[in-house]
Amino acid sequence: MMSYYPKQRSVISHLIFCILVLLPLQAFADGPIDCGTTPIRVGYFKLGYRFYVDDGQEKGMNVDIMEELRKRTGCTFVTQEMSFARIWEDLTSGELDISLSGIRSPERELTVWFAPSITSKNYVLIGAAARSSVKNADDFFNNTALIFGVARGYTHSKELDIWLQKLRDAGRVEESSNVDVLFEKLKLGRIDGMFSFPFVYRKLLSDLNMQDDVSIQDWFSDDKGIIGCTMLSKKRFTETEANRWRSLILEMQRDGTLKRIFNQYVTPDEADQMLNF
């Protein structure tokens, strides 16, 4: 028995040493946000209930998320509505510090840190002229008169983009400058189908009074969606600082804050799916 206790004390001492060493590292990774000496510049672009302007007021999920970040960090944010293309240019140059709703890619990771903050699944919207004859992807593809619309610069999940490329090769994809224009084209019958997220089509179909004219279909049931990210310019934030923002967003996921925000705009089932990032 006497020979056992020194070994036990040695093991315990080793564990305590490891804990004391690792605790500061964890505290460093999850330390307080450095707001810097100038306001943090945030760029928004219109995307259904993610961001919209109502009577001159900025509204939507992204606005609610940024307000929660302001409360938790004490940082000062200045916001601006911008085009999707301009946001990427300004994040790269350092004219913009943060934006939301970005999709990770190797090219973009050269200039931007990504913090996962939402999972979004695309559904298919079929316009009035084709909704009675189109029930799946094959129906649409086999009718060579039908045109599919996409927003310029947008990426989708791998399976959706493979299908879309086949339509591009056939000359049956029409690009638009933004999502709002896509919905207007769908209403006018200039395109016959498009991809859209629930938090987008729920707002824009209502705004355009199109709820009864469009068929909403899930062509790719195995598709789990794509992860949308909060984007932080590498011109302003170091990797350590970006990790602290990631930790803050994950905390909002764990404590139910993101669920509460999402539930204001979509169904509970859709909100739950959006939290799987």
pLDDT band at 30 (very low <50, low <70, confident <90, very high): low
Q: Does the pLDDT at position 153 exceed 90?
A: no
Q: How far is CA 249 from the centre of its chain?
A: 12
* Residue 8 domain flag: no
Q: Measure the CA–CA gap between 156 and 136, rounded to whole angstroms.
A: 18
Other beta carbons within 10 Å of 120:
23
* Residue 243 domain flag: yes
Label the pairing between strands 77-81 and 173-176. Answer: unpaired
Same domain (yes/no): 82, 206: no
Same domain (yes/no): 211, 75: no
Same domain (yes/no): 190, 232: no
- The 3-state DSSP class for residue 217 equals strand
Same domain (yes/no): 236, 116: yes
Domain closes at, from 191, 217, 243? 217
Please measure the distance between the N-terminal and C-terminal CA atoms of the chain and give it in whole angstroms: 51
* Residue 66 domain flag: yes
Same domain (yes/no): 116, 231: yes
* Residue 33 domain flag: no
Q: What rounded mean pLDDT belongs to the chain?
A: 89
Domain closes at, from 217, 239, 254? 217
Same domain (yes/no): 84, 73: yes
- CA distances to 84, 238, 264 from 59, rounded to whole Å, are 17, 29, 12
* Residue 111 domain flag: yes
* Residue 10 domain flag: no
- CA distances to 56, 233, 255, 257, 275 from 251, rounded to whole Å, are 31, 21, 6, 8, 12
Q: Does the pLDDT at position 264 exceed 90?
A: yes
* CATH number of the domain residue 170 falls in: 3.40.190.10
Report the pLDDT value the prediction gives residue 222, as an integer from 0 to 100.
87
Q: Measure the CA–CA gap between 165 and 161, rounded to whole angstroms.
A: 6
Q: Which residue has the tokens 């040493």?
A: 17
* Residue 3 domain flag: no
What is the pTM (predicted TM-score) of this model? 0.82
Q: Does the pLDDT at position 4 exceed 50?
A: no
* Residue 135 domain flag: yes
Same domain (yes/no): 140, 204: yes
Report the pLDDT value the prediction gives residue 90, as an integer from 0 to 100.
97
Q: What domain count does the chain have?
A: 2
- The whole domain housing 206 covers 123-217
Same domain (yes/no): 72, 85: yes
Q: Measure the CA–CA gap between 185 and 187, rounded to whole angstroms.
A: 5
Q: Does the pLDDT at position 270 exceed 90?
A: yes
Report the pLDDT value the prediction gives residue 22, as an integer from 0 to 100.
41
